[in-house]
A = this chain, B = another copy of it.
Amino acid sequence: MDLGTLIGLFGGLTLVGGAMMLAGPIMAFVDAQSAMIVLGGAVFTTLMKYPLDGFLNGISSIKLVFSSTIEDPKEVIDQLVSMAETARKNSILALEKVQIDEPFMQKAIKMLVDGVEPDVIEDIMAAEMEAMEQRHGDARGVYESLAEASPGFGMIGTVIGLIVMMGSLDNPDSVGPAMAVALITTLYGNMFTNLFFAPFSAKLKYLSKKEMLNKEIVMSGIGSIVKGENPRLIRSKLEGFLAPKLRGGEES
Chain A residues within CB distance 8 Å of chain B: 2-5, 7-9, 11-12, 15-16, 19-20, 22-24, 28-29, 33, 36-37, 40-41, 43-55, 65, 68, 103, 107, 110-111, 114, 116, 120, 123-125, 127-128, 131, 134-135, 138, 145, 149, 152-153, 155-157, 159-164, 166-170, 173, 175-177, 179-180, 183-184, 186-187, 190-191, 193-195, 198-200, 202-203, 206, 209, 213, 216, 220, 229, 233, 236-237, 240-244, 251
Contact = CB atoms under 8 A, between A and B. Distances in A.
Contact of A45 (B8, B33, B170, B180): B8
A156 B187 contact: yes
A132 to B, nearest CB: 8
A199 B145 CA distance: 9
Contact of A198 (B33, B45, B199, B243): B45
Most B CB contacts (10 A, CB to CB) among A54, A153, A213 go to: A153
A46 B107 CA distance: 36
Nearest to A28: B167
A169 B175 contact: yes
Copies in the complex: 5
A182 to B, nearest CB: 9
Contacts of A164: 23-24, 28, 180
A199 B237 contact: no
Query: For chain A, what secondary structure do more than half of its interface residues adopt (helix, strand, loop), or is it mixed?
Result: helix
Contacts of A170: 173, 176
Contacts of A241: 127-128, 131
Contact of A194 (B156, B176, B236): B156
B206 A54 contact: yes
Most B CB contacts (10 A, CB to CB) among A177, A195, A213 go to: A195
